[in-house]
Amino acid sequence: MYDQSGKEVGEVKLPENVFGLSWNADLVHQVITSMLSESRTIYAHTKDRGQVRGGGKKPWQQKGLGRARHGSTRSPIWVHGGIAHGPNGLKNYDRKVNKKMKIKALYTILSRKVRDNEIIFVDKFEISKPKTKDAIEILTSMSKIKACSNILSKKNNSAIIALSSKNIVVEKSFANIGNVEVDELRNINPVDLLNTKYLVIENPTESIKFIENKMVKAK
């Protein structure tokens, strides 16, 4: 465990049932795809013949002209007509995944990140006033840690700082740093962890208990 200046201040005991799991690609893939589907925003939408404007009058009489019979100019076979079997905003892309599966996938990713030395435990973050300068100094100090030497230099998706509780000052201080995201620990999810290189966990003693209790509550 480190402090925000990058110095070692202690050790953290990790529960094996959370940080010692073997990699399960099938489980992680199923959970990730379901979460991405649930967050999908539906844009594609077409109008059928009953939704497009016009077409109320019959184009020509039914018989006598030698033409094919038509009842509306908004039929799908007409130009400017409605779309047959087109996409609409009513389609549901949600995929059901059990709560235990989501938690198990979260534990699996955390275990992988521990093995890859991509999790850093920090005792606490202390910033008196919201200042980007102070946040950069913290990241500069943390970059001296061998496990996360490029936490400041990595351009995209460098790190997630998981706070044990809401801290507006810390959130505002890191707000202007594009490659670092600050959020409460309770909001971390498998998608964000896979999209980000490092995970910085504040107050590991309480945070690890909270993560471990996720599965207990689910059961």
Tell me the CATH number at 153: 3.40.1370.10
Residue at 36 is within a domain = no
The one-letter amino acid code at 19 reads: F
DSSP string, 141-179: HHTTSGGGTTTTT--SS-EEEEESS--HHHHHHTTT-TT
Q: What is the pLDDT of residues 131-177, one digit of tens each?
A: 999 999 999 999 999 888 899 889 999 999 999 999 999 999 999 99
Residue at 152 is within a domain = yes
Residue at 144 is within a domain = yes
pTM of the model: 0.83
How many domains, the chain? 2
Q: Are residues 135 and 64 in the same domain?
A: no
Query: What is the span of the domain harbouring residue 195?
Result: 16-25+97-218
C-alpha–C-alpha distance, residues 202 and 200, integer Å: 7
Residue at 141 is within a domain = yes
In the chain, the N- to C-terminal Cα span, in Å, equals: 30
Residue at 114 is within a domain = yes
**Tell me, what's the pLDDT at 23?**
96
